[in-house]
Structure 1
């Protein structure tokens, strides 16, 4: 089937032809005819990178009345990056449609420019939930004319704590609108949204629900926890053409690992919630233009990233749930291309890996950590390939060739080749010539188990409600509080239950004890504006009020244990974290 057979108008087909597209992807082929009818609500389940933007964007553009200047369609998405990407794609699709006004609204930038753009008129508003609510409260956007409400990456929005915001937004639209929901997975929270706001929706699933792409190879290797960073460096060196994303649990792990790899000469950078919007944009632009080989990111920061041709997704430890893994690995193997998702785990996580295999219906292939000899061989032939494929500018080099030949005439052909490859190759020989085998032996497994037994015993026999001396003065609202917990501790948003947010402290539920212990371990000992964060099971919280007088003060400049992080000084890695004293960290809506 071609796009010409889907019922799209001439202007849209012309734009598609200009882009070089002929055949629709499976989700486009199934969704576009249904959505063009304008008669049904719709649920579309498909992996990231399968063309969902065109699947909902083309039918939406075709059904606009461009002579009506009111907002006719809203598209909600989880992140600024995805918001900008959707806007860009729609503008390309609408190239021949006339004056279609598409306005993106998202947090982290000045709201005044967005207000100015909205006053000029908008047919479509592409928004993050929090910033859209800000505009609604200011009266700069009215939703009573919306005919189409689209939720893109719905599972990600709910996982980031936007459920209340989405409910607030949809409740202000008219009952006769159509809701189109697109998601990679279908957790119960997404199902609840569908039941509440959709009327007998058409449901289309491409592939299996909650599954990963078919052209994605899932790999794992088991190593000692103390060797994780060395193992990661070996895989980067073993794949010279790697263009990947590495996921870490917390902001601190992300930045520290990026700093170490950059110090060791690797072309990487970090992406996490402590970066300003300008810093984040700079990192992403460098990654998109391949000036960075690997992006090291937290789950929260990487949501909505849409970058072509990513070859590898790497995970240092397993994520907490299968949906998180699906979204992480969905950064590669997009648009029909192949990719590798590699999980680097210690021996204690093998059971968790088997459970993940069952939930996503995929078998992970065990791979070995490359040996020093294998890396040297791979780098040698990568260098040879570079020489073979080098483009020679005959005119530019002609001036120098006589002198070059004179300098090299004393060498035989064999000697010259040896010296040529040694210029680059010697550093790998020096680094890996005597490198030990890092693959985990049975002895290493027993050692890992001993380390676990001898370590601190975690609490497992108590209630799962936690107390924390962080409140509304620090994180603004429940969405910000949830994002703060997930970003700093690395737990999933679905692990967090009811949140009771007070002024200077909070109580919150946690689904299981393991996640609760992880939160306690991650946050205790951190600081927020010079005040130590305290997290504990609520049964042992003691007298909350007696401590509040010393817990005043906004902001959230985190200080890692023993590291000393001053938010007004430049951090290692060359980033300037210069925020005004006392300002609240951006854990509010519209992240």
Structure 2
């Protein structure tokens, strides 16, 4: 297996990446770095966001820099100021031991005077957005006459943002340029046009097949009417306590309005879009990285500079116009070998768009039900109970307040105290979802009706507690039977149970085959239900609405079942089922 130590990097760089803990290069780094170190030439690197492109070009650039020369030798062009700052920061870490190395970032949204002063310090490497660089060229504040290496990072995005003429002008102002390194997520005609005009005998390196997405991403979509999008978003957020994600909008106006509405409702979110000044955007990113925010509401352009590995969810408030943008959005999660979920909120008319993206990324998307109110409360109940169970109060807190606490609650029964704590935590959620509507659009796919047979809704006694996701459930079913994944629809994974649809004539076979299996040592149990009954299951068998279900799973304890303190509906939600819209 290739390691960074096997690359013939200068000693200072080897020391720095060792300090950073770099061991195994990513696929694009393995392919690009050796070539750029030993045989510098024009190249095109095709790789998705989050695959380590900065190190792929940054390490070779610094390897070839002559720190004794005090002029700009390397130029990196980037579409956004966030990405400029990120590249400057990363390259600064790589070059920490290179005495005399200066790296300067110039971008819009900040006073140009300070950047001109930094350029007077004679940096060897400049990272720039096209617009600000042209402004500096026109002011004669920077010279590109001695630039030998030019990197176009996120070239496709720069072209999408209308920087084609700016890139042409900048490249024409680099007369000593010896090599051009172009990195892009896609190879569009415009990207190829740049290569033909300014590159010679280039080599192409791709880290993955074109237009594929990370296999660790579970792609889900929720069908609702267009006017219910915001309520659907809110319900998904409530159903996913502990979420750390990005909500994507198509316009800056949507971004601002949605973020403001969520903030007024008490959600820890913030907008991130191009109309915000740099100081505010930097402050938002700092809060997001230290997890003071649970979500960012962002436009595609603003999100280009986000470099965070722990993002659990990406939510498409609306699908992007360009299907290729979907891969950029979904690529924000499941980084560094982790898994992630990409949720898309769509209207019935947009099902064809989902199919188009499925074909492009070569992955099956899972149609999921928008959770009802009882499901939301149950989910938050379990989340809160886990928080209590795993909490470790500081020792000094216990010493300071133990006597007062004991005195206050000396006559309160333990179970009553637990009920009160749970109620205090959940009462606002219960009030919101007391009589919540069904947000599902009631859409039946064309594929389903076209098969001419009914579909069966199957209950399985496995859920999130078993480490299950929609993607893993489909994989378990297909690996345990000879059923194809494309006939499994409407996968819904809950805390302790899950549901999925299959053709009616296949249901008995699937139940028979899977009932003899075990999942992570747990015996699998399945049974056929119907669409309305499935909504009544209480997250793992406890409590059921809408008719008698044979052999329900174990009920929750009486204590937990009554926490809702409303008309007991079972399953921990503890209140009456929602009203259904017609």
TM-score bucket (shorter structure)? 0.7 to 0.9
Determine whether 1:193 maps to 2:205: no
8 A Cα contact 2:246 2:315, kept in partner? yes
User: How far does residue 444 in structure 1 lie from its aligned partner after superposition?
Assistant: 13
- CA apart distance, 1:443: 9.6
- Matched with 1:413 is 414
The separation in 2 between residues aligned to 1:220 and 1:342, in whole angstroms, is 5
C-alpha deviation, 1:62, in angstroms: 0.9
Contact persistence 1:317–1:346 (CA under 8 A): no
SS in 2 for 1:331: coil
Q: 1:174 Cα shift?
A: 2.6
TM-score, normalised with respect to structure 1: 0.73
CA contact (8 A) 2:147 2:176 kept: no
Alignment of 1:66-465 (within 5 A): 66-174=67-175, 176-442=177-443
- Partners of 1:78 and 1:304 within 8 A in 2: no
Q: Quote the offset at 1:38 in angstroms.
A: 4.2
The equivalent residue for 2:461 is none
In 1, Cα distance between the equivalents of 2:443 and 2:195? 49
Q: Provide Cα deviations, 1:194-221, integer angstroms capped at 9, x if missing partner.
A: 1211111121111111322222221111
TM-score by length of 2: 0.74
Shift of 1:373: 1.4
Q: Is the 8 A contact 1:27 1:46 kept in 2?
A: yes
Q: Are 1:103 and 1:126, in contact at CA under 8 Å, matched by a contact in 2? A: yes
- Tell me, in whole angstroms, the C-alpha distance in 2 between the residues paired with 1:356 and 1:40: 35
Aligned to 2:88, the other structure's residue is in SS state helix
3-state SS of paired residue (1:17): helix
Q: 2:182 is paired with a residue of what secondary structure?
A: strand
Which whole-Å deviations, capped at 9, do the CAs of 1:272-298 have from their partners, x for residues lacking one? 233222222222222222211111122
How far the C-alpha of 1:361 sits from its partner, in A, is 2.2
Partner of 1:561: none
Asked if the contact 1:51–1:335 (Cα under 8 Å) also holds between the matched residues in 2, the reply is: no
Larger radius of gyration: 2
- Superimposed CA distance per residue, residues 360-400 of structure 1 (whole angstroms, 9 cap, x where no aligned partner): 22221111111211111111111111112212211232121
Counterpart Cα distance in 2 of 1:85 and 1:195:
29
Preserved CA contact (<8 Å) 1:268 1:293: yes
SS at match of 1:296: strand
Q: How far has the Cα of 1:442 moved from its partner?
A: 4.5
Root-mean-square deviation (CA), in Å?
Answer: 1.7
Task: State the alpha-carbon separation in 2 of the partners of residues 152 and 234 from structure 1.
Answer: 37
Counterparts of 1:3-22 in structure 2 under 5 Å? 3-22=4-23
* CA distance in 1: counterparts of 2:14 and 2:197, whole angstroms: 35
Moved more, 176-185 or 267-276: 267-276
- Aligned partner of 1:26 in structure 2 is 27
**Structure 1 residues 332 and 67, CA, compared in 2 at 3 Å: closer, same or farther?**
same
Match of 2:40 in 1: 39
- Check whether the contact 2:145–2:176 (CA below 8 A) recurs between aligned residues: no
Count of aligned residue pairs for this structure pair: 445
1:428-482 Cα shifts (integer Å, max 9, x gaps): 222223322221215999xxxxxxxxxxxxxxxxxxxxxxxxxxxxxxxxxxxxx
CA distance in 2, matches of 1:228, 1:444: 19
Number of the residue aligned with 1:57: 58
Residue 403 of structure 2 aligns to a residue in which SS? Answer: helix
Distance 1:444 1:223 in 2: 13
Check whether the contact 1:254–1:270 (CA below 8 A) recurs between aligned residues: yes
Matches of 1:46 and 1:413, distance apart in 2: 57
Q: Name the structure, 1 or 2, with higher relative contact order (CA <8 Å, separation 6+).
A: 1
CA displacement, residues 508-542 of structure 1 (integer Å, 9 cap, x when unaligned): xxxxxxxxxxxxxxxxxxxxxxxxxxxxxxxxxxx
Q: Which moved further from structure 2: 98-107 or 329-338?
A: 329-338
For the residues of structure 1 that align with 2:176 and 2:402, how far apart are their CA atoms? Answer: 76
Q: 3-state SS of the aligned residue for 1:218?
A: strand
Structure 1 residues without counterparts, runs of 5 or longer: 446-591
Alpha-carbon separation, structure 2, partners of 1:22 and 1:311: 25
Report what 2:504 is aligned to: none
